[in-house]
Structure 1
Amino acid sequence: MDHGAIHSVFASLTEKQEEALRLACQHLTSKQIAQELGVAPVTIDKRIDAVRAKLGHMPRVEVLRHYRAWAEAYDRTIDDPTILTPPLSSAASTTAQPQERPYVFEDSLAFDARAPWDRSSDWLQPRIRPSDLGISGKLLLIALGAVAIMAVAVLSMAFANALATML
């Protein structure tokens, strides 16, 4: 697709699509953009996918590079001017990725293990989240919790009673 066609697609974007692309150019994930705008992450993905469809299903990073070039050409501001790196060379790198750094893929931005707001359910077994449990699973979990609390209360009263008889 030539630059003129790409620029005409960007000129015809809705305000919400343009806002999603602008925030994506700031290295925000769909979840972070959704959190900032107060919408669901799937909504952000749909907005960006609609733009990608207009551009022949171009990879997301390429869309963001073209959007940045279009925004700079038409004096539109994107908060941080040094967001996207130049395109990677066509030869794939065979060097090992350092363990302490996030993985970087040719067709994407950087992926970290988990976002900070997703770390709240670390007390559960891996791969099991409260949203994965059905209504019966949640009720069973509540019932088991109530039984555990009652057992602690009974044992505490028995211990207090044993101490009282010893004195």
Structure 2
Amino acid sequence: MDDVTDIAEGKAMLGSLTDKQVEVLDLLVMHRTTKEIARELAIAPNTVDQRIGAVRDKWGTVNRKDTARLYAQLVELCGKPLCDFSRVDADPALPDEADQDLPVDPVFVLSDARPMERHPDWYGAPTIEPAGLEAFDAKFGRAGRIVAVIVLALMMAVTLAATLSIADVLGRLI
């Protein structure tokens, strides 16, 4: 579908959508998969695909990507905020923009890698409790981590010394 530049036409196209289709499209422009959208809206994945298909039929787009791109363009054209970004999969002919927000402190923090917590109502799944190093840090703090590193290093040194002494004894026997 060609780019829409007329505000009235854009508002008419957005007005043709149901509230449920808008919910799905809002998540689609954030590059969510069908399963992710279904979980967030507590609907079946097939329902998500049906809503996207209905919009594709209304607008004459050929795939999900084009539908999301057109929706983002229409929302931006009509002056509504769209999830703090202005384009979905920008035209590949345009040069890449280096407008990524980088953290002030480039040091990796364990909490950066933590999985997102799930809402307890999603298919009855409980929220995710901290596990592994996160649970260790929550219980013992930074000092506990330092002590654990020192204890592990000593254990490795003792294991290495025992292995070398066993190898020496076996070498003398042969």
How high is the TM-score relative to the length of structure 2? 0.46
How high is the TM-score relative to the length of structure 1? 0.47
Structure whose alpha-carbon radius of gyration is higher: 2
